[in-house]
Structure formats: C-alpha cells, structure tokens
C-alpha cells in the first residue's frame, strides 16, 4: 500500500528566488521578462518559477515590492517624525543620498519599468501605486504633524514626491549626478521655504 504525501512548499525558497530574479534583472529590460528567460538565466525550471509566482503579472508585483524595500526605513522615518522641519528635511536628503548609489539607480529603473508594465496589465492599482502612496501618506502625515492644513500638506507632498521622481528619471537617463543633485538642492530649498510660509500663515490665521 502506497501513502501519498503532499510536497510541502519551501517557504524559504521564494524570498531567495525573488532576490535572484531582481539581481538578474538589474542590467536587463523588464520587457524581456519571461519565465523561460528567467529559468535559463537562473538555472532553474520554469515550473519552479510558476510554482512560486503564478503569473508574469504577479511576478512583476513581487519584484516591485522587493525593489521598494530599500526605501522602507526612510519612509518610516518620515512617517514617524515629531513635527520638526529640520528632521523632515534631513530624512528627505537621506532618501536622495540613498538613491544616488549605483544599485539604487538600477532598482529605480526597474521600478519605473514595472510601473508601465503594471499599468498595461491592470487597473492601475498595482504595487507601484502602493509604493507611491506610501511616500505620499508619509509626507502628508509629517506636514500635518507640523501644523499644516491637510489640503496644503497633500499638495506640497505631491509636488515634492513627483519632482524627486522626475529627478530620478533624469539621473537614470543622463547619469549626471552632479547637476541633478544641484537641482535637488534647489527643489528642497524651495520646498522648505513654502512649508515655512504655509506654517507661518497658519499661525497668523489662528491668532487673528
């Protein structure tokens, strides 16, 4: 009599496999992604990839989530600020410095590609939207904690995050770290002045 024992899923294999996938794609266009090319590049079977990730779209979501982990500590730092403008600006500068590392630029390029890929395959509610929303929520929370009105906080955060993402795109396209960093410094100073102005205006309104 034979007893069939179901094969248990190796829970440790998926994170390790995902890390290998990300490394493999760092210098390759996401448009070339397929289970076959990954299987050949990683030396595994297509069955292994399908078993752990299901579909190509799901794999892209997993890749975006893995890529965004590099930002998590910085985002949490912004979200947990206690209302100090200088700490807020320091956290944003830290985000920028981390983004200048060669590996970070490769991961950012991968994130941009994944955003376009997800947009084509879904209703626009994919993992890249989640990454963007994470930054937006953290920035808004920090400004509201300083005393800024909700509407102003949402607008200023969107302007800043959108602009920095644009600068990241510039970095990926041109590789001109020096000039783009000068532009970033100008952007952050303009942001600082607007934040201070809005906070001061709010104090005056309360006093009147």
pLDDT of residue 203: 61
Q: Is the pLDDT of residue 105 over 50?
A: yes
pLDDT of residue 116: 76
Across the range 138-159, mean pLDDT stands at 94
Rounded to whole angstroms, how far apart are CA atoms 197 and 91?
Answer: 20
pLDDT of residue 207: 53
| Mean of all residue pLDDT scores within the chain | 84
Across the range 72-82, mean pLDDT stands at 77
Closest CA to 110 of 35, 186, 182, 32: 32
Q: What percent of the chain has pLDDT over 70?
A: 84
Across the range 138-158, mean pLDDT stands at 94
Sign of CA dihedral 36, 40, 41, 43: positive
Q: What percent of the chain has pLDDT over 90?
A: 43
Rounded to whole angstroms, how far apart are CA atoms 14 and 53?
Answer: 8
pLDDT of residue 127: 58
Select the more confidently predicted residue: 119 or 169.
Answer: 169
Select the more confidently predicted residue: 6 or 34.
Answer: 34
CA dihedral 136, 142, 144, 148 (to 10 degrees): -100
Select the more confidently predicted residue: 150 or 8.
Answer: 150
Q: Is the pLDDT of residue 5 over 50?
A: no
Rounded to whole angstroms, how far apart are CA atoms 73 and 56?
Answer: 28
Q: How many CB atoms lie within 10 A of CB 46?
A: 14
pLDDT of residue 151: 96
């Amino acid at each position: 009599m034979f007893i069939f024992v179901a094969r248990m899923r190796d829970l440790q294999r998926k994170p390790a496999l995902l890390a290998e996938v990300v490394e493999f794609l760092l210098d390759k266009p996401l448009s070339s992604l397929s289970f076959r090319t990954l299987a050949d590049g990683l030396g595994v079977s297509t069955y292994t990839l399908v078993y752990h990730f299901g579909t190509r779209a799901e794999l892209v979501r997993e890749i975006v989530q893995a890529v965004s982990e590099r930002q998590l500590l910085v985002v949490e730092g912004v979200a947990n600020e206690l209302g100090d403008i200088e700490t807020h600006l320091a956290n944003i500068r830290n985000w920028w410095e981390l983004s200048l590392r060669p590996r970070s630029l490769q991961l950012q390029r991968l994130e941009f590609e994944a955003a376009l890929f997800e947009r084509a395959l879904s209703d626009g509610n994919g993992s890249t939207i989640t990454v963007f929303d994470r930054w937006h929520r953290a920035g808004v929370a920090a400004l509201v904690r300083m005393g800024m009105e909700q509407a102003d906080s949402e607008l200023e955060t969107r302007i800043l995050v959108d602009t920095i993402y644009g600068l990241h795109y510039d970095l990926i396209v041109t590789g001109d770290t020096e000039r783009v960093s000068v532009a970033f410094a100008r952007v952050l100073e303009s942001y600082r002045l607007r934040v201070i102005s809005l906070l001061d205006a709010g104090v005056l309104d309360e006093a009147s």
